[in-house]
Structures are given as structure tokens and as C-alpha cells.
Structure 1
Amino acid sequence: MAHAQAQAPQKQQCAPSDAWSRVKIRLRGELGEDVYASWFRGVEVEQVGDGVIHLTVATRFLRNWLRTHYYESVLRLARSEWPTAERLEFTVRQPHFAIELPKEPTQERRTPAMTTSDLTPLPMPLRTGYGGFEGSPLDPRLSFGSFVVGASNKLAHAAAQQVASAFSSPQSPFNPLFLHGNVGLGKTHLLHAISWEIKQQKPEAEVLYLTAERFMSGFVQALRARDALAFKEKLRNIDILLIDDMEFLQGPTIQQEFCHTLNSLIDGGRQVVVAADRAPTHLDKLDKRMQSRLGGGLVAQIKAMDYDLRHQILERRAEEACTDTKGLEVSETVLAFLAERLTESGRELEGAVHRLRASYQLTDEPVTIAVAEQIVRDLMRGTEPRRVRIDDILRTVSKHYGVNRGDLLSGRRNRSIVRPRQIGMYLAKLLTSRSLPEIGRRFGNRDHTTVLHAIRKVEQLMSDDNQLREEIELLKRLLRD
């Protein structure tokens, strides 16, 4: 009996993630879906022991916000699973990379004089090739470890990993694998990642990564040299062929030969991975047979990135930049501002971080929202100032702080609602021409003296709290843009 009792706490600690999942269900029920999605979806439990529940979050801002606004609620609900818990500890988790990439490849890109012999930590070529045919260059930074996964690219990422990990098996589950999506969403990254992963698992594997343009160029040169037959035979003997930018493959002769190569590789159990900006059936320049064969495997679309994925990419790239650049700091509010305004592609996001880093190195000025906006203005869409309405303020404040619009207009006095409501009133006075009585009416029929108190309160808090000042600056710019 005593032995069974001694084992109970140990069993409880063996699966803290299961217990934390039950706590999150209770949090969703108590706080509502909007608040839960904004603040708790990505919170994870690391360990539980000595009366302390260790939780990890993605950012410093989220850590500070949960400590300030939801500490008691989380602790109360967590005690339903861990009755002896005395306190919570929130820490910011570090990103984990599946493949550790060395510093040397980055230096190689900046210093053309370096050779592949300098890259000893990565015993893989920077350019694929087979039988004297040279493929397109591979970027060592584009690995699975550096790829940021979100809802819009989860299927494509999982399929690419499956192809890479199942390379040594007799039959690949997805052949061909066809990835499609707009420019800058990660198709090329996944093709490079597959190549690196396979070469790491099996260095002797014959991997050939080509752009469609390079394939056409090689085939045309072979025709001119009257060596087309040897060219085709070389391609048909490789282990895996990866073709990028398939939409640019033109010409009936080239398409016909590529289709023969494709059929030969797939029928021979060799892997083919293709990427394009559209699905196979929408590639009008390809004949029906090619479209049918490309669509016969797995077709995975990479969709436009949502806010969460854009923020994760910015956070990852900013952390890398700050690690490599002494003194550089990029605040959560700057990341949130950029994630909200830069919506086109991952390259755009990485370019923004490169610019911020270069600006800091050249000027030694801290990276503020004002600096960020000035540096990346040309990347932003719709930068002309627009007329701000109180409805816009209510919607933006509600989304940013994870509270319902109805709560902002209600008489509830919870701190987590009062502060966003006061900030909303302050922004309404600052950004609109509405009078204090009218602002009061729009914020739940409040008296103008309540609005005046809110404005003065926010101004006082801003003078003492740099983080709040940055938050409000972020909200102002989101509303004006």
C-alpha cells in the first residue's frame, strides 16, 4: 500500500502534458475561445516538481502578459491537476533546430574565395550533380531545422519530411510529390531541405536539384552537342530529381523529353519532387499527359501565411540576428507591427530583419517601431494614412488584448478589461475628432469624466512604462495604416 502511494506522485509527473491539456480545456471554457486563442494556445508545460509548475511560452511579451493578467486564474485551474502546486514559473522557450547548421556556410556566401573544403562540419556538396551534369546550387541555411511550420504549410512540410526520411525504403509513399504556392512561401526551402537531409542520411545518394530553366538550358546544350541521348540517360539513373519553378518549363520537345524522364524515374522507383506556383491542372503550358502524371502523386499546396506564422518567422529570424549582432534588440511590439503589415512572403519578412540589423550596425540606433516603419516602408502595402474610426479602435484593441468587444463596452471592472478599455478611449481621443461625451457614448454610454480619467491614467502610465508606450505606439500605427 505504501509502495502504491509512493508511486502516485511519480505517475503524475510522468505525463504533465496530458494534465496540462486538461487545464487548457478548462481555461478555454472559463475565458472563452478568443482569449484562449490569443494567449494560451501555444503555452506548454515543461516540468512539474517541488510545488512549481514550469510553463514555457514563445515570447517575452507573452510571458509578461500572462504573469500580470492570468497568473491567479492559471494557478487555480492548474491545482485541479497538481493540488500541491504553490506557484507558476513562465519562461521563454528557445527554438529547436532539427539540424544544427554551422557558421561557415554563411561566411562562404559572403566570401567567394572560400571553397567547399572549408565547410568541414557539413560533409555535403553545395551543388548537386550527376555524371558531369551540374545542378543548381543549394543554400546550407535552407534545412528542415530552419523551416518555420504553420497551418498554411503543415501538409507540404510533413510530406517533404516523409519523402526525405523514407528515401532509403523500397517504395516512396508520395511519388511524385508536387508542391505549389505563391512566390516566397517556402517551396524552394523545402526542396533544398529534402536534398540536404538525403545527402546527410546517405552521402552517396545521387541527388539532382534543378530549376526548370536550368533543365531547359542543359537539354538545349545537349541537343546542340548532339548528346541528347546521353543527357537523358544520365537523368534517368539518378536517385532523386527535384525540379523547381516548373511553370517555366516551355517548349513541346523539352516537355516531351521531361515527361519521358519523369515516367522512367517513377516507374523505376526513383523519387521525383516538383515545385510550381500553381497546381498541375492549372499549368496551361504543360500538356495533359504531363499534368496527369504530376498530379498522380501527392499535390500539396502552401497557402498564404497567417499572422501567427509571419510572427513566428520574424521571431526566429530576429533571434538569429540578435545572436549574431552584439547589442541588437528587436522588441515584441516591433515584431508584432511587422507581422501585421508585411503579408506577402517569407522573403519579405527575412528582408525586413536584414534591414533592421544593417541599420543598427551602421547607425547604432535602437530598433523602435518608428525606425522599423521607416526602414521597411517600401515593403508595406497600403501605407497611406487613413481616417480612423472608433469601430476600428474597438476592433484593434479587442484583437490585440484578447478581450471581447462586448467586454470593452460593458460595466465589468476586471483589470484585464479596464486597461484595454482605457487605452481604447485614449486612442479615440488621440486619433479621431470625436468629443469626450461622444467617445463615452461609444464606449458603453460612459460619462465624459470617465473618458477624461482614462486618458490621464494612460498618459501617466506611459510616462513610467516603456513597454506600454511601445504597445500604444504599435496600436497607433496599425490603426493609421
Structure 2
Amino acid sequence: MAQQEQFASSGDAWGRVKSRLRAELGEDVFASWFRGVELERLDEGCVHLTVATRFLRNWLRSHYYDFVLRLLRSEWAEVERVEFRVRQPHFGNEQPKELLRQKPMAMPTLEEAPPLPMPLRTGYGGFEGSPLDPRLTFATFLVGASNRLSHAAAQEVAGAFSTPQQLFNPLFVHGSVGLGKTHLLHAISWDVKQRKPEAQVLYLTAERFMSGFVQALRARDALAFKEKLRKIDILLIDDMEFLQGPTIQQEFCHTLNSLIDGGRQVVVAADRAPTQLDKLDMRMRSRLGGGLVAEIGVMDYELRHKILSKRAAEACSETRGLAISDTVLAFLAERLTESGRELEGAIHRLRASYQLTDEPVTIEVAEQIVRDLMRGAEPRRVRIDDILRTVSKHYGVNRGDLLSGRRNRSIVRPRQIGMYLAKLLTSRSLPEIGRRFGNRDHTTVLHAIRKIEQLMNDDNQLREEIELLKRLLRD
């Protein structure tokens, strides 16, 4: 009986924890991640929670562990750690043997755990902003040549927003879909709240701004709506290109002027520069372009490879047995050129494929899985110039070295591979290939082809490299 009363008391405490989760994270996030979490038991300083799926278990461990632990300690001071477990369907009492053999995943210590995420919604005076993703911070934003200016400007704004005179106000970030605009706006929001928790930060999509304004008009509360917006410290508007309607645009322009004139920071993101937002009136375009306009350009190969490497490392660390070679990553970095979301989606697909089929991730598997992401690429006829350029880039040697008489191993092997690919992918004769590779004899070309074929029989890594080069050249 005492045990039943103790569990009932624990259930009440867990109910209070869930209420705080809902209040601090917002209804959307709570419904997505915490609605189905159940308290199993509390013993020896550990709270055991159960969830419905492995994915949910892993997500809560990696993203909300410290956050949940803090709230649990507000109810049970003696709690030292949290254990998330996948509960079994309630159709029988016997647990599968596989579950019994599983070892519990080691929990991160308090020192190792990531910084505590703040509430996922910003707002002011009862006006609720759009949700913020705790993963989108400056620490997780990867910098390359295409986004260096916008990243530096965003960091400057976050660090100096409370100064008497902001350097970049408004900051206008623009670029195509999936290049990191939203990431930067979220990162600014997190950074400002971390530096100054009492700051009134409001992050809104243009759609949410329009919805809030329309609701205020219907409730005949437009004046209060305007006053709330004009008293915040920093306003961040995403997807500015979707702001429509003359009345809404006029109100936003008044709000923008009021905030900037009052020394408050404004950050705006859109898919085009202010001068190209034809649906906005001239006054608003002029004011938006009056601060710093920073473009996020198309990602180059180095940045794409960096993003893929980071996402792959995260996936492999969270999925036992998963391995994604650099050859596969190089192939994806060459072929997927549209956006960061496309790159992240490719890694998610490879991870899911491995979990479902238990097959190693090879170039063939990768190409099959992400084929629809690459359907825009048209096959083309391979030329020897293409081969020389691709081999030079892949092995980091100069084209002149490939055509020279140098006999260094670092030059000879790429040269032989180039000759092999020229014979395999073009209709050129051996003498012609020899001429294009530095006026070499056709017997030299034949020797190179046979040498590479022999090496491929014994060297899996070389075989993978040549397969990668073939696919890059054909596509």
C-alpha cells in the first residue's frame, strides 16, 4: 500500500514536470516530443522514463537530457540521472530477448551535456513568436566562402544589439532556399537570450506576423498589437518575401521605422535582396536596404563536404555499426549542390537504409537512395579534358604534372587512372589517349590500363575511388 501511495505521489510530481515542459517549450514542441513520455519508476537517484520508439528515445537523450534533468530535480532533489527506455506494446508480458540483451546507453554527465536549451518560443507581452530550434546555434553553423559575411554580421548583431547605436540595423540576409538564413536568425535569438535572458526577443515568420495582425484586427485590438511589437528589444522576421497586403505591409513599415528609430535591432531574411522584392512598396524596400544587406551564396564543394562530414559523424555516433566513407561523402558533395537541407536529407536516408536493411553504405547504395535528389543532372558525353580535370582535382595534382614526364608515385598513379578512365569512358584509341596524356606511346597507355585493372582486383579502396570518378564523370 505504501508503495502504491509513493508511486501515486511520483505520478503527481511527473504531472507537474510535464506541465512545466508544456509551458517552457510551447504546445507544438511538447506535443511532438513529450506528450507520450511516461514515468516508469524512480529508484536510486535515477528517474526511468519510457517512450514509444527508438527514434524518440535517441532524440530526447541527445537534445533534451539536461533540460529534463533540471525539471526533474525541481521535484526530486536526489535525482542524479535520467534513463529513457522504449516501452513494449501492451499485448503480452514476455519481453523480446533482443531487448533483454541490449545494454543501456551511457548517459552524459552534467559536465559533458550540451548547454541547457532555453524556451523554444520567443514572445513579448502575451504575443507568441514562432518556435526556435535548439540545434540552430552559432556553434552548429558551418562557415564557408559563401556565407562568411552573413555569419560574421549575425554574430556582430547578436553581440552588440544592446549598444546605443547598432552598426547594422536592419540586417537583411538573403539567399536561396536551404542555405542557412533561418539558422542564422535562430542563432541570433539563442545568443541574445543567453547573453541577456531578460531581453525581449521576438522571432516571427512573415506568415505568423500577418496572422497575428489579422487576429488583432478581428479582435479590435490592433493598437495593443502595434504597441507590443514596438517595445521589444530585437525583432527577427523570416521569409519576408511572403509578406503581402497593403495594410499589413504599411503596418510592418511603421513598426520597422519605430523600432529602428528607437534604437532596437531588426533582422530580416528573404530569398531575394530588398530591391528585388517587387511585392513590397518602395519605402519599405528602401528602409530594408538601408542597413547591411548580406547575401548567402550557393555552397561550394568544400562547404558541402564539411556539412556532410559533420552530419555523417553525428549519424554514425548515434547508430551502432553505421559507417559512411569519405568516398561516399565526396560523391554526395559533388552531386548534391542545391541546399543544406538536401545534404542533411541524404544522410538521413543513408542512415535509415542501414537501419532497415543492415547493408553497408556504398556509392551504389548512396546513388540509388538519393537518385531523386540528383534527377536534375543530365548525363553528358565524357571528354578527356573532363577526365584530366576531375582526376587532377580528386588527387590534388596539377594538370601539367599529369602531362609531364615526372615519375613520382604521387603523379604516376593518378596519370594511370586517367588513362584507364579515358579508355573506359571515351571512344578514343590508345595512340590518341597517349597523345592527350603528354605524347606517350600507346604501349604506355596499355600498360597503365592493365596495371590499374590488376590493382583494382586486390584494392577495394582503389576500386571505390575509380567508381566514384566514373560516376562523377558520367553525371
Which bin holds the TM-score, normalised by the shorter protein? 0.7 to 0.9
**CA deviation after TM superposition for structure 1 residue 126, in Å:** 0.8
- SS of the residue 2:315 aligns to: helix
Q: Is the 8 A contact 2:117 2:134 kept in 1?
A: no
Residue 68 (structure 2) aligned to one of 118, 121, 126: 118
For the residues of structure 1 that align with 2:454 and 2:30, how far apart are their CA atoms?
Answer: 48
Report what 2:170 is aligned to: 176
- SS of the residue 2:140 aligns to: coil
Q: Is the 8 A contact 1:314 1:339 kept in 2?
A: yes
Q: Is the 8 A contact 2:161 2:264 kept in 1?
A: no
Structure 2's unaligned 5+ residue stretches are 1-27, 38-59, 71-114
Alignment of 1:84-99 (within 5 A): none
For the residues of structure 1 that align with 2:398 and 2:281, how far apart are their CA atoms?
Answer: 52
Report what 2:361 is aligned to: 367
1:44-97 Cα shifts (integer Å, max 9, x gaps)? xxxxxxxxxxxxxxxxxxxxxxxxxxxxxxxxxxxxxxxxxxxxxxxxxxxxxx
1:181-201 Cα shifts (integer Å, max 9, x gaps)? 111110000000001111112
For the residues of structure 1 that align with 2:379 and 2:177, how far apart are their CA atoms?
Answer: 28
Please state if 1:326 is matched with 2:291. Answer: no
- Counterpart amino acid of residue 252 in structure 1: P
Alignment of 1:229-268 (within 5 A): 229-268=223-262
Residue 460 (structure 1) aligned to one of 454, 460, 464: 454
Please state if 1:162 is matched with 2:112. Answer: no
CA 1:421–1:169 in 2, change beyond 3 Å: closer, same or farther?
Answer: same
- SS of the residue 2:272 aligns to: coil
Report what 1:293 is aligned to: 287
For the residues of structure 2 that align with 1:426 and 1:109, how far apart are their CA atoms?
Answer: 53
Q: Is the 8 A contact 1:236 1:265 kept in 2?
A: yes
- SS of the residue 1:178 aligns to: strand
Q: Is the 8 A contact 2:174 2:295 kept in 1?
A: yes
**CA deviation after TM superposition for structure 1 residue 382, in Å:** 4.0
- Counterpart amino acid of residue 192 in structure 2: I
Report what 2:183 is aligned to: 189
For the residues of structure 2 that align with 1:162 and 1:241, how far apart are their CA atoms?
Answer: 15
Please state if 1:315 is matched with 2:309. Answer: yes
Please state if 1:275 is matched with 2:269. Answer: yes
For the residues of structure 2 that align with 1:106 and 1:476, how far apart are their CA atoms?
Answer: 45
**CA deviation after TM superposition for structure 1 residue 463, in Å:** 2.4
1:235-266 Cα shifts (integer Å, max 9, x gaps)? 01111100000011111111111111111111
Residue 444 (structure 1) aligned to one of 438, 443, 446: 438
Report what 1:130 is aligned to: 124
**CA deviation after TM superposition for structure 1 residue 231, in Å:** 0.4
CA 1:265–1:142 in 2, change beyond 3 Å: closer, same or farther?
Answer: same
Deviates more, 1:212-221 or 1:443-452: 443-452
- SS of the residue 1:145 aligns to: helix
1:379-433 Cα shifts (integer Å, max 9, x gaps)? 0144454322222211211221222222212222121211111001111122223
Please state if 1:426 is matched with 2:420. Answer: yes
CA 1:119–1:237 in 2, change beyond 3 Å: closer, same or farther?
Answer: farther
1:113-158 Cα shifts (integer Å, max 9, x gaps)? 4698637452511111111111111111111111000011000000
Please state if 1:151 is matched with 2:101. Answer: no
For the residues of structure 2 that align with 1:106 and 1:410, how far apart are their CA atoms?
Answer: 61
Structure 1's unaligned 5+ residue stretches are 1-104
Q: Is the 8 A contact 1:124 1:203 kept in 2?
A: no
- SS of the residue 2:235 aligns to: strand
Question: TM-score with structure 1 length normalisation?
Answer: 0.75
- SS of the residue 2:269 aligns to: strand
- SS of the residue 2:359 aligns to: coil
1:427-481 Cα shifts (integer Å, max 9, x gaps)? 1122223232232222222222211211121122222322222111110000111
Q: What is the RMSD of the two structures over their aligned residues, measured on CA atoms?
A: 2.0
Deviates more, 1:397-406 or 1:335-344: 397-406
Report what 1:46 is aligned to: none
Q: Is the 8 A contact 1:212 1:249 kept in 2?
A: yes
Report what 1:96 is aligned to: none
CA 1:188–1:203 in 2, change beyond 3 Å: closer, same or farther?
Answer: same
1:250-288 Cα shifts (integer Å, max 9, x gaps)? 111111111111111111111110001111111111111
Q: Is the 8 A contact 1:341 1:381 kept in 2?
A: no
Deviates more, 1:311-320 or 1:435-444: 435-444
For the residues of structure 1 that align with 2:332 and 2:314, how far apart are their CA atoms?
Answer: 17
Please state if 1:205 is matched with 2:199. Answer: yes
Report what 1:399 is aligned to: 393
CA 1:160–1:252 in 2, change beyond 3 Å: closer, same or farther?
Answer: same
Please state if 1:477 is matched with 2:471. Answer: yes
Deviates more, 1:461-470 or 1:290-299: 461-470
**CA deviation after TM superposition for structure 1 residue 375, in Å:** 0.4
Q: Is the 8 A contact 1:207 1:240 kept in 2?
A: yes
CA 1:192–1:472 in 2, change beyond 3 Å: closer, same or farther?
Answer: same
Please state if 1:351 is matched with 2:345. Answer: yes
Deviates more, 1:126-135 or 1:427-436: 427-436
- Counterpart amino acid of residue 193 in structure 1: A
